[in-house]
Amino acid sequence: MRSEATRTAELPIYESLIRERGDVVEEARAVAEKTQQQMSQALAGHAPAPTEPGEH
């Protein structure tokens, strides 16, 4: 297990990566939530109209 000091020291690196590359974790979370909502609707018989890949 890492100490609190080790975790705190790593945060600036993570934050700079987010600035440079974007927050991939947050993007993945948003896509997962959207997919979950779509699947819930589809299973309930209310499937949304299909969209083109890459469309948001």
| pLDDT score at 6 | 56
Note the pTM of the prediction, 2 decimals: 0.53
Alpha-carbon gap, residue 6 to 25, rounded angstroms: 21
| pLDDT score at 17 | 86
The pLDDT tens digits of the residues spanning 1-56 come to 555 555 556 678 888 888 898 999 999 999 999 999 999 999 998 766 666 676 65
Residue 56, Cα to own-chain centre: how many angstroms?
14
